[in-house]
Structure 1
Amino acid sequence: MSNLAYDASADIEAASETEIAAMRELRPVPRISIQAFCETESIAAPIERAAADRRMSKAHLKVHMGGIGTAIEFYQSAQTPNLIIVESRDEPKQLIATLSRLAEVCDPSSKVVVIGHYNDVWLYRELIRFGISEYVVAPISMADILSVISSIFVDPQAEPIGRSIAFIGAKGGVGSSTVAHNVAWSMSTLFSSEVVVADLDLAFGTANINFDQDPTQGIAEAVFSPERIDETYLDRLLAQCAERLSLLAAPSMLDRTYDFDAEAFTQVIDVAQRTAPLLVLDVPHIWSGWSRSVLTQADEVVITATPELANLRNTKNLLDTLKKLRPNDAPPKLVINQAGVPKRPEISPSDFAEPLDLTPMAVIPFEPALFGNSANNGRMLGEMDAQHAVVKTINEMAHVLTGRSELKAKKKAGLGDLLERLKRRK
């Protein structure tokens, strides 16, 4: 029996736009064990790709080549997992008989999903009556697999999980935190939506200054006492910044070091997502196990960069790495900040974006007076000048990141645009 257990170092085919859209609303799968027994590579491949998805990070999925017969032999001496996925090319009556033999060696609590090659209503009804959790007709996609697993193990009556958006700078000092805080404020005011901002830079975080807050507790208490974290405890740690905006502030002190393991922020993020529909994660410009984990698990990633060569290199490295870590998600959004600094040689936005194969979500010009006054007064840009062009850009970003509008590529002016203008004049 060959074992195709997922190898994280292997190259995984990226999901199509259709699959990404289909999986956008899927919730994370709980900590369960899954084993699949496949007869064909066309079924094994999407299941292996599903194992690499961030929504399956808590689950343990192993793929074996061989159908129901292999599963029966395997479970003669092995304990059955929470979910068994089997592929069978048997005709309907033979399939029912083979599954009866599988039931003899399976724990009654184990769920079973059958992937068959016959689109037969009688077969489907018989399998459901037999106790099979789901019957799926081949061919299948990775999105199909994730959807089936989610439908079995995720309670449809459970409260919805908030959307997490992680902001990180391609370099330190590019304004990623300022962009994150202002986008969060815009989301809370434009859409009357509850938003939580989590400042993950425990040593040097600026969210407390930007929001003019001085809380005695914050994210440090949550991270250093993960066993205490629940919605009630988290609510005590939140500082109210606006009517619908709350902050998990960083201590911004150097009285101790902040060395964390890779999953240090997982618990607090999970709980925070249950308390608000939008969670903005202000990730510092570092590369560690925990920052890598936060970026991998976020629903959306936003990279802020200034139009310089080192920023371009770092942005490219981040994009390439996150594509491997998040093969089934859309690429991160790009924000070019501080464009047009006087006398500074810089890369034009179009030249910056071209090697990245990304359309910037926003290009924010260098406006030292607006940003300086905002920072020094502890107020958001929208509070300083609601009609400013930069504020309107921030609002557009809020629409894109909440799915209320789409990022549209801007076409370069050319012959087609000229012809369109001439037509309108007639």
Structure 2
Amino acid sequence: MRADPPREAADHARGGGAGRGERAPFLAFVQDEASEAAIRGGLAAFGGGLAVRRGGIATAIKALEREATPRVLLVDIAGIDDPMEQLEALAGICTPDLRMLVLGDNTEIGFYRQLTRDLGVAEYVHKPLTRDSAERLFGPFLKGGEAETEAARRGGQVVAVCGARGGVGTTTVAVNLALQLADVSRGHVALLDLNLRGGTTGLMFGVRPAPGLRVALEDPERVDGLFLERCAMPIGERLKLIAAEEPMDAVPLPTIEGVAGLLGLLRQRFNHVVVDLPMPPGPAERAVLAASRLMLLVMGPDLAGIRNAIAARKLAGGGAARMMTVLNREGLPGGLKRKHILEGLGATPEVTIPDLPKLLPRAANLGKPALNTVLRRALAPVTEEIAAVHAGKVRGSLMARLFGGSA
């Protein structure tokens, strides 16, 4: 999953990933010459950036696995027996801010409604396509306006990962969860580390975070479309890291507006945003909990972990839509037995990660993520909860996959 930093930089420059600015304004995949001519003629007045390629949705899937998601995508599903499955696959590799247009040969109104109302497709048009219909129905999406405003209301899911106390493995969980999501969901994932001083996400990947995160969090006006180009570090093809390494004597003052603005930007560009969150959270960090679909509370097998986990659940219970407790390092020599932990918590942890005394320290010191079979199996319930992905299977509606679901 991880490439050496020089190779990552080269891939980034060529255009791999969700954080690039050179996204095509409009990209179409059509199967016949007549449709291509109608699109080129009908949309010629909307300026440059119009790209039309020959091929159907299978061609689109293969291409967008390697290329940046365009702002507007048109795909041709004519002649496909089960287009829904193909649309699901396409949605899984695109960023949430995509506006998808579909061209096909099904003339039934029920099919149109299923695509546009139930599955989140912006517009469906049946063949034959004319220049007039291409301009009238597809043109508004090149202008922006209402279509862009609607897209801004949608976005990827935010997952907050926080520890009951320091040293329980919060960053380890966040790093490996982000890697697993990027791997099995095939979606675009952002890992945001809000531990501005002493954060270790960069160390675990063997990279130095780019500057800019602190400024963006303190001054909301600095969070713009170029922020990702300056601050996001590419980790593999579908994972970006946004972190900082502020001096220990620095006093970062993130604002609620800064955190909310950054999350809004990330949610439009990524299917999943995993946040390594300091605990207890300050007022600005609580904006993450308010935006989260899921909160992971990481604890260790000790009395302090139980006490703080109970307190943290009360503190953050009203923010995240769903909370899962992660018991890390189960079986640690000298740690509490499982039955005592269950008695103390009054509930069973949804996720249990065994003690891995050799693997995790070695991986952290080498700057290589520790994701292996044991960790993958332990994190599977979280992956299932976040992305409806388990054991290599992808489920969920196109709306949930393409636009990341509701927060």
Is this contact kept in 2: 1:162–1:274, CA < 8 A?
A: yes
Measure, in 2, the Cα distance between the counterparts of 1:235 and 1:311. 38
Residue number among 319, 335, 338 corresponding to 2:329 in the alignment: 338
Measure, in 2, the Cα distance between the counterparts of 1:157 and 1:260. 27
Matches within 5 A, 1:259-338: 259-325=253-319, 329-330=321-322, 332-338=323-329
Residue number among 210, 221, 224 corresponding to 1:227 in the alignment: 221
Deviations along 1:7-53, one digit per CA (max 9) or x if unpaired, are: xxxxxxxxxxxxxxxxxxxxxxxxxxxxxxxxxxxxxxxxxxxxxxx
Matches within 5 A, 1:106-185: 156=150, 158=152, 160-185=154-179
TM-score by length of 1: 0.53
Matches within 5 A, 1:91-106: none
Shift of 1:187: 0.7
TM-score by length of 2: 0.55
Measure, in 1, the Cα distance between the counterparts of 2:318 and 2:274. 23
> Partner of 2:198 in structure 1?
204
Measure, in 2, the Cα distance between the counterparts of 1:268 and 1:397. 24
> Partner of 1:403 in structure 2?
388
Shift of 1:234: 2.5
Is this contact kept in 1: 2:158–2:294, CA < 8 A?
A: yes
Measure, in 2, the Cα distance between the counterparts of 1:243 and 1:263. 30
Does 2:379 match 1:394?
A: yes
> Partner of 1:127 in structure 2?
none
Measure, in 1, the Cα distance between the counterparts of 2:202 and 2:358. 21
Deviations along 1:301-347, one digit per CA (max 9) or x if unpaired, are: 00000021111111111112223445xx33x11100011122x1414
Measure, in 2, the Cα distance between the counterparts of 1:297 and 1:158. 15
Letter in 1 for 2:166: G
Measure, in 2, the Cα distance between the counterparts of 1:297 and 1:283. 13
Deviations along 1:229-275, one digit per CA (max 9) or x if unpaired, are: 12332232101011111010112422521133444411111111111
Measure, in 1, the Cα distance between the counterparts of 2:370 and 2:324. 21
Q: 1:263 to 1:397 in 2, by over 3 A?
A: same
Letter in 2 for 1:182: N
Q: 1:219 to 1:395 in 2, by over 3 A?
A: farther
Structure 1 SS opposite 2:235: strand
Matches within 5 A, 1:228-267: 228-267=222-261
Measure, in 1, the Cα distance between the counterparts of 2:214 and 2:248. 12
Shift of 1:401: 2.5
Is this contact kept in 2: 1:381–1:391, CA < 8 A?
A: no
Is this contact kept in 2: 1:262–1:289, CA < 8 A?
A: yes
Shift of 1:359: 3.5
Count of residues paired in the alignment = 246
> Partner of 1:367 in structure 2?
356
> Partner of 1:113 in structure 2?
none
Is this contact kept in 1: 2:220–2:261, CA < 8 A?
A: yes
Letter in 1 for 2:315: T
Shift of 1:168: 0.2
Is this contact kept in 1: 2:159–2:273, CA < 8 A?
A: yes
- RMSD of the TM alignment (CA)? 2.6
Measure, in 2, the Cα distance between the counterparts of 1:171 and 1:215. 24
Shift of 1:200: 0.1
Shift of 1:156: 4.7
Q: 1:298 to 1:181 in 2, by over 3 A?
A: same
Structure 2: 5+ residue runs without aligned partners? 1-145, 392-407
Q: 1:324 to 1:189 in 2, by over 3 A?
A: closer
Letter in 1 for 2:291: Q
Letter in 1 for 2:287: S
Measure, in 2, the Cα distance between the counterparts of 1:341 and 1:192. 34
Is this contact kept in 2: 1:212–1:378, CA < 8 A?
A: yes
Structure 1: 5+ residue runs without aligned partners? 1-151, 407-426
Letter in 1 for 2:282: S
Look at both structures and tell me which one has the larger radius of gyration over its CA atoms. 1
Letter in 1 for 2:268: R
Greater relative contact order structure (CA < 8 Å, 6+ sep): 2
Shift of 1:357: 4.9
Q: 1:188 to 1:367 in 2, by over 3 A?
A: same
Q: Percent identity?
A: 26
Letter in 2 for 1:340: G
